[in-house]
Amino acid sequence: MELVKNFNLRNERNLSMLVDFYEFTMGNGYLKNGYANEIVYFDMFFRRVPDGGGYCIMAGVQQLIEYLSNLKFTVEDIEYLRTKNIFAEEFLDYLKNFQFTCDVWAVPEGYPVFPNEPLVTVKGPAIQAQLIETMVLLTINHQTLIATKANRICRAAKGRPVMEFGSRRAQGYDGAIYGARAAIIGGCSSTACTISDQMFGIPAVGTMAHSWIQLFDDEYTAFKTWAETYPDNCVFLIDTYNVLKSGIPNAIKVFDEVLKPLGKRPSGVRIDSGDITYLSNRCREMLDSAGYNDVKIIVSNSLDEYIIMDVLSQGAEIDSFGVGERLITAKSEPVFGGVYKLVAVGSDNKIKPRIKISENEEKITNPGFKKIYRIFDKKSNKAIADLITLHDEVIDESKPLTIFDPIYTWKVKKLTNFYAKELLVQIFDKGNQVYESPEVIDIREFSIKETEKLWKEVLRFENPHNYYVDLSQKLWDLKHNMLRGFTEEFSSKEN
Amino acid sequence: MELVKNFNLRNERNLSMLVDFYEFTMGNGYLKNGYANEIVYFDMFFRRVPDGGGYCIMAGVQQLIEYLSNLKFTVEDIEYLRTKNIFAEEFLDYLKNFQFTCDVWAVPEGYPVFPNEPLVTVKGPAIQAQLIETMVLLTINHQTLIATKANRICRAAKGRPVMEFGSRRAQGYDGAIYGARAAIIGGCSSTACTISDQMFGIPAVGTMAHSWIQLFDDEYTAFKTWAETYPDNCVFLIDTYNVLKSGIPNAIKVFDEVLKPLGKRPSGVRIDSGDITYLSNRCREMLDSAGYNDVKIIVSNSLDEYIIMDVLSQGAEIDSFGVGERLITAKSEPVFGGVYKLVAVGSDNKIKPRIKISENEEKITNPGFKKIYRIFDKKSNKAIADLITLHDEVIDESKPLTIFDPIYTWKVKKLTNFYAKELLVQIFDKGNQVYESPEVIDIREFSIKETEKLWKEVLRFENPHNYYVDLSQKLWDLKHNMLRGFTEEFSSKEN
């Protein structure tokens, strides 16, 4: 089937003004005070995996690329900003002639990622690197949240297909459109969202709503008409009136009367309410005894990973799941707390690291221009740890590598027989795009493979093993010395 | 200040394909089987107020109008659908020549609304009324969710301004853009989201991030540079290093050194981390004793209505709040469960009501083509109840009106000295827009006024009084008889 793919809806929109207002006030200030072209380094990272999970699934890089490629300000934008009466004409000129010239690195979509490692690093003139903060965060936070939730739900379904059904309950249009994209990256097999199929080539599916049944005078006529219209993909929604007394008997009757004479096999039945374990078991019996043991039972109705695990452990006979609101909003934890922090200032040979101090220890940032290595065991091919290093550090795979816990520093691990893979890839070089995203369905496959490289202890839903994200000795020393400097400075002052 | 308002971003986008795929399969089926022009009636309504609140705030009507006004299918859309190999050419032609001809009624934005009453009613040809389901739900669900959450947060702040700061944590671009719009409808005073100001004329605000401070070699220089750049709107973020030992002393020093000689008063300080009650009290003391008792203290950091109530009850001295992720995602309950149900079939003089049965009693729908009256007490001007009636019923304000609980039917209330206001207004007449939305800031004012008409028992955060949403005797009888018919039918069958 040929698809009209990558219909570029985003290109029709100018989202350059989707910016927190303070990025403009700061930009104007940078320019006025001679800091516009000061080279700075920002890291986007998160601090905690939602739902107590062991890892997240990176997503949103393609939309970040589209945004950065299209970044420009129209005459109307400049006019609007001028009405605020706080921006210098020099700054408005800067925006009018805006040219994005930053270097950007990102972890490719689909990778499992962990707290405190940079998912995106931006290096470039202060005014530019600052201006893109809101959209970097918004794009990566949203899609990573949904891909991560989808990954949990799909793992709970244990190989059964999970369909994304949430558009109507999404938080806004893009919540539906890009949420469906992220759900596929996280492992869903299809979506109900037609435009997402059209844009990204991810399969859209769907059959009937209750309204189809209700439009007809009775359920039997509604099913019969459907079967005559779609004999090749006949899935009935069987809970409009009563699943066991009406839905299943009418479905079987129509399978027998309409499809059997045509030599067609029905595809499935869908249950959207009630006690799904009990109903799926009874439906299975009734279908089997009518000779329809190949007909699938599909279930939807406020599902998530917890309910799916629960009904499967009770012996529910379900072949696939439609998951809506709890996936498309990541209901159990709907915020992905990614942040974008300044980590260094200065061009190549005079980089000055910067740190954000906090009384909450976990909010202290990792200073400096950095990269991430994922270390794999050569024999098992499993991921052992991620090591964050300064940007000029190289790992020599031929020598043993000692890593240590950045807090409990006496906890040391000596690695041999490993290989190291850099996670951050450059996506923009001086403002030019230098990376092409794979197709979404290929990212999905990639993600499944990379997730299989994690130990099962990290995959656990409850109390997973903390995957090691360590700092190189050089980075640790740098951070430690900076922190110590601040502590000494403030401890000498009165409260 | 002149604003470049209502920059129509939405008009640049074709969202007609943001449709659950089953709307197309059903549409194709309706057409093929002669039901395309059958007149149907759909109600959009919700069943439960999020967060255990007493009411919701209606929002999203303007975006629903824009969607319905722009509904059309492009050559590319038709081409895409053709690749699915399940749609009849006749149906693809229908879409190619699509003309929206439905009548649509909606409760205007800003009204407090209650469970089980139709917020939107659509009357028109089956294929059309079906096709718009996804977007009706998505649009109203999202904005009503956020407006309702904002209303709670603003009430907790007790008159202190609440700024919407959530773009970076929103669920997608529209989550930020329309979320900011809905937040203003719910009572927020301003937003950080620049594009929402540009589009809707809602004030965007913002000053500096931690990165401004970090870019400079020290906090004092960062503050000084800022004050020199923005002497008229000087708000410092004071928690980059240490609020009490560094942030406040440096702020006061710069106020004295830069602003005082210019004869300017500083605007405020913002605290974004730490123990905000303690810090706000100490900051207040330090500012006051330095002669800055008019300088505002602004607080942000994962706030919501519960934390705001808590810190205010502890005596925190806070003048305004910046609320981000917990507002823009409605974190405590991020799904608004609006549904869109077929309630009748047939044109004017032969309307056949339809009902959706469920074993969950609260999921049973109200059948028929209906309207809503809000009944107010003439003396107090307070809202007493909403009464859902059939579409042809008229309330005679000159006679006593008896209303009764639809479940506990012996609970009867006899009303005199009341007036009744219809809530649903027509927004489309045979596909033509017949309603103009007010400006967003005017909707905000309207919403505040309409909310003040609710008794304080309904406004309560915990265990509010259930506002009465009753059915007219005629509607109740209709529903009761339909339910009884089904129950008798199924009770005569074996399980």
Q: At a CB cut-off of 8 Å and minimum separation 6, what does B364 contact?
A: B355, B356, B357, B358, B479, B483
DSSP structural state of residue B353: E
Nearest to A194 among B24, B167, B175 (CB): B24
A32 touches chain B (CB under 8 A): yes
| B207-315 placed in CATH 3.20.20.70 | yes
Q: How far is B395 from chain A (nearest CA, A)?
A: 30
Residue A413 to residues A206, A385, A423, B276, Cα–Cα distance (Å):
51, 10, 21, 40
Contact list in B for residue A195 (CB cut-off 8 A) is 15, 17-19
Cβ distance of B215 and A35 shorter than 8 Å: yes
Q: How confident is the model at residue B7 (pLDDT cuts 50, 70, 90)?
A: very low
Q: Report how far residue B92's alpha carbon sits from residue B78's, in angstroms, rounded to the nearest whole number.
A: 6
Q: Report how far residue A227's alpha carbon sits from residue A240's, in angstroms, rounded to the nearest whole number.
A: 17
A39 touches chain B (CB under 8 A): no
A281 touches chain B (CB under 8 A): no
Q: Report how far residue A58's alpha carbon sits from residue A146's, in angstroms, rounded to the nearest whole number.
A: 10
Q: Could you tell me how many helices (H) and strands (E) chain A has, helices first?
A: 18, 21
pLDDT in tens, B407-449: 999 999 999 999 999 999 999 999 999 999 999 999 999 999 9
* Two structure tokens written together for B374: 């809000």
Q: Report how far residue A115's alpha carbon sits from residue A469's, in angstroms, rounded to the nearest whole number.
A: 8
Residues 107 to 166 of A: which have CB under 8 A from any B CB?
A: 126, 130, 133-134, 137-138, 141-142, 145-146, 165
Nearest to B175 among A84, A172, A494 (CB): A172
CA A113 to chain CA centroid, Å, is: 10
Contact list in B for residue A85 (CB cut-off 8 A) is 1
B190 touches chain A (CB under 8 A): no
Adjacent-strand bridge partners of B123: B41, B103
SS3 content of chain A, % helix, strand, coil (to 5): 40, 20, 40
Cβ distance of B18 and A358 shorter than 8 Å: no
Cβ distance of B169 and A359 shorter than 8 Å: no
Q: How confident is the model at residue B111 (pLDDT cuts 50, 70, 90)?
A: very high
Secondary structure element (H or E) that encloses residue B40, with its range: strand B39-45
Domain ranges of chain B: 10-146+334-491, 207-315
Nearest to B493 among A245, A359, A363 (CB): A245
Q: Which phi and psi (to 5°) does residue B267 adopt? A: -90, -45
B33 touches chain A (CB under 8 A): yes
Nearest to A172 among B7, B35, B174 (CB): B174
Q: Residue B494's pLDDT is what?
A: 54
A345 touches chain B (CB under 8 A): yes
Adjacent-strand bridge partners of B375: B385, B420
- Mean pLDDT along residues B97-103: 98
| Owner of token pair 């499993």 | A382
Contact list in A for residue B495 (CB cut-off 8 A) is 244-245
Q: Report how far residue B303's alpha carbon sits from residue B70's, in angstroms, rounded to the nearest whole number.
A: 38
Q: Which phi and psi (to 5°) does residue B159 adopt? A: 90, -15
Q: Report how far residue A405's alpha carbon sits from residue B381's, in angstroms, rounded to the nearest whole number.
A: 66
Q: Report how far residue B339's alpha carbon sits from residue B386's, in angstroms, rounded to the nearest whole number.
A: 19
pLDDT in tens, B147-163: 999 999 999 999 999 99
Q: Residue A7's pLDDT is what?
A: 44
Domains B10-146+334-491 and B207-315 agree in fold? no
Q: Residue A12's pLDDT is what?
A: 56
Query: Among B4, B7, B8, B21, which would you mutate to test the A interface (most chain A Cβ atoms within 10 Å of its Cβ)?
Result: B21
- Mean pLDDT along residues B173-198: 98
Nearest to B486 among A226, A241, A326 (CB): A241
Q: Residue A9's pLDDT is what?
A: 46
| Owner of token pair 């750049």 | B229
B80 touches chain A (CB under 8 A): yes
CATH number of A207-296: 3.20.20.70
Cβ distance of A331 and B334 shorter than 8 Å: yes
Cβ distance of B172 and A138 shorter than 8 Å: yes
A465 touches chain B (CB under 8 A): no
pLDDT, averaged in runs of 10, over chain A (495 residues) = 40 83 97 95 97 98 96 96 97 98 98 98 98 98 98 98 98 98 98 97 95 94 98 95 95 98 97 95 98 97 95 98 98 98 92 86 91 97 98 96 94 96 98 98 98 96 95 97 86 62
The C-alpha R_g of chain B, in whole angstroms, comes to 27
Q: How far is A313 from chain B (nearest CA, A)?
A: 24
B170 touches chain A (CB under 8 A): yes
| A182-198: burial string, b at 16+ Cβ within 10 Å, e else | bbbbbbbbbbbbbbbbb
Adjacent-strand bridge partners of A425: A106
Q: Residue A2's pLDDT is what?
A: 37
Is the ipTM value over 0.85, yes or no?
yes
DSSP letter for each residue of B420-431: EEE--EEEEETT
Cβ distance of B197 and A21 shorter than 8 Å: yes
Secondary structure element (H or E) that encloses residue A219, with its range: helix A219-229
Q: Report how far residue A87's alpha carbon sits from residue A34's, in angstroms, rounded to the nearest whole number.
A: 15
Q: Residue B12's pLDDT is what?
A: 56
Q: How far is B10 from chain A (nearest CA, A)?
A: 9
Q: Residue B4's pLDDT is what?
A: 38
Q: How far is B18 from chain A (nearest CA, A)?
A: 5
Q: How far is A357 from chain B (nearest CA, A)?
A: 5
The three-class DSSP label of residue A73 is: coil
CA B89 to chain CA centroid, Å, is: 39
Architecture of the domain delimited by B10-146+334-491: Alpha-Beta Barrel (3.20)
Single-letter code of the amino acid located at A402: T
Q: Does residue B301 have a pLDDT over 90? A: no
| Owner of token pair 């929002």 | B59
Nearest to B206 among A14, A21, A172 (CB): A21
Q: How far is A4 from chain B (nearest CA, A)?
A: 6
Q: How far is A389 from chain B (nearest CA, A)?
A: 21
A233 touches chain B (CB under 8 A): yes
Nearest to B21 among A179, A205, A210 (CB): A205
- Mean pLDDT along residues B399-410: 95
- Mean pLDDT along residues B381-402: 97
Are B49 and B81 within 8 A, CB to CB? Answer: no
Between vectors from CA A271 to CA A270 and to CA A273, what angle results, nearest 5°? 155
DSSP letter for each residue of A129-196: HHHTHHHHHHHHHHHHHHHHHHHHHHHHTTTS-EEE--GGGSSSHHHHHHHHHHHHHTT--EESBHHH
Cβ distance of A18 and B178 shorter than 8 Å: no
Q: Residue B173's pLDDT is what?
A: 97
Q: Report how far residue A479's alpha carbon sits from residue A233's, in angstroms, rounded to the nearest whole number.
A: 60
| Owner of token pair 């609140």 | B53
Are B323 and B165 within 8 A, CB to CB? Answer: yes
Cβ distance of B168 and A274 shorter than 8 Å: no
Residue of A194, A138, A209, A215 whose CA lies nearest to A171: A138
